[in-house]
């Protein structure tokens, strides 16, 4: 029997980095250290409490969680202006990215990124029928910022996505370059969101500011963060944007791979 799978998905290999039985799983960028017992106990107690209310749909606004995430960003990234309404949380930053594509992408719309980069980006685009356009990075994996801003003007994407630090190269994007991307995006007819994927932000050099510090002046900036790497949770991810209003919580394993 033939099932009506979308033709462009037929025959595709499912995404899947090999799950190797080794200590350091560099191909999925997992933290090799398990969470401490105290964290495991706290999670177990919280799950127990949550289970008492499983007959109800969860609170769709998740204000406590979003407030806690804002407090974390204030402590870790010195961005003390975020409120719960600025935070969006989902089942990993993968899901946050998918939500962004569902909201902003779609047929006839383009997303621009800079290769080589995280191999899931084209998949979010494919799954939402969004065109995925890449500009090559320079030989040292930095962005040619003039070429990048020119590409934003030429391609007129609905979103520009840059990982900083980048996967798989570890390259950071200086804030002045984020600002240059934001300036170019502001001129795109119909609007363009700049998404800075800070999955590895906690590993940046001391004193380097998060792109989230630019949020107050740039309503078309979203910054995604995750608990799957530095927190050794491969579980909790969130994004911030001045325009986000709702939230949900993630608890799923990271399905990433390096390109």
Ligand X SMILES: Cc1ncc(COP(=O)(O)O)c(C=O)c1O
Q: How many CA atoms lie within 13 A of 183 on its CB side?
A: 11
Q: How far is the CB of 153 from ligand X (least distance, A)?
A: 26
Chain positions 81 to 110 lying near ligand X, rule: CB under 6 A, are 92-94
Relative orientation angle of helices 175-186 and 145-155, to the nearest 10 degrees:
20
How many chain residues are in contact with ligand X, going by CB under 6 A?
A: 15
Chain positions 184 to 203 lying near ligand X, rule: CB under 6 A, are 197, 199
- DSSP H/E element including 194: strand 193-197
Chain positions 24 to 63 lying near ligand X, rule: CB under 6 A, are 29
Chain positions 216 to 255 lying near ligand X, rule: CB under 6 A, are 226, 228, 234, 237, 254
The residue (of 188 and 223) whose beta carbon lies closer to ligand X is: 223
Q: Which of 86, 167, 244, 247 binds ligand X (CB under 6 A)?
A: 167
What string of DSSP letters covers 97-108?
HHHHHHHH--TT
Reading the block at residue 229, the tokens are 């790497």
Reading the block at residue 219, the tokens are 């309503």
Beta carbons within 10 angstroms of residue 91's beta carbon: 18
Q: Which of 145, 163, 185, 239 binds ligand X (CB under 6 A)?
A: 163
The residue (of 188 and 236) whose beta carbon lies closer to ligand X is: 236
Q: How many CA atoms lie within 13 A of 161 on its CB side?
A: 33
Binding residues vs ligand X (CB under 6 A): 29, 92-94, 118, 163, 167, 197, 199, 226, 228, 234, 237, 254, 256
């Amino acid at each position: 029997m033939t099932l009506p799978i979308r033709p462009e998905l037929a025959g595709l290999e499912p995404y899947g980095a090999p799950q190797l039985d080794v200590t350091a799983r560099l191909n999925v960028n997992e933290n090799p250290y398990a969470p401490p017992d105290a964290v495991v106990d706290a999670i177990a107690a919280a799950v127990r409490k949550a289970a008492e209310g499983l007959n109800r749909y969860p609170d769709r606004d998740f204000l406590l969680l979003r407030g806690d995430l804002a407090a974390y960003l204030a402590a870790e990234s010195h961005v003390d202006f975020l409120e719960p309404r600025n935070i969006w949380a989902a089942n990993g930053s993968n899901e946050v990215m998918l939500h962004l594509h569902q909201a902003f992408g779609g047929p006839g719309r383009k997303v621009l990124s800079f290769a080589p980069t995280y191999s899931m980006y084209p998949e979010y685009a494919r799954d939402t029928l969004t065109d995925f356009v890449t500009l090559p990075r320079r030989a040292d994996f930095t962005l040619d910022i003039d070429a990048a801003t020119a590409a934003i003007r030429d391609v007129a994407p609905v979103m520009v996505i840059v990982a900083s630090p980048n996967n798989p190269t570890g390259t950071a994007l200086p804030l002045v370059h984020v600002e240059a991307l934001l300036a170019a995006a502001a001129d795109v007819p119909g609007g363009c969101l700049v998404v800075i994927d800070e999955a590895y932000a906690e590993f940046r050099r001391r004193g380097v500011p998060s792109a989230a510090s630019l949020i107050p002046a740039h309503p078309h900036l979203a910054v995604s963060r995750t608990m799957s790497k530095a927190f050794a949770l491969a579980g909790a991810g969130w994004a911030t944007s001045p325009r986000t209003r709702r939230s949900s919580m993630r608890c799923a394993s990271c399905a990433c791979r390096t390109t």
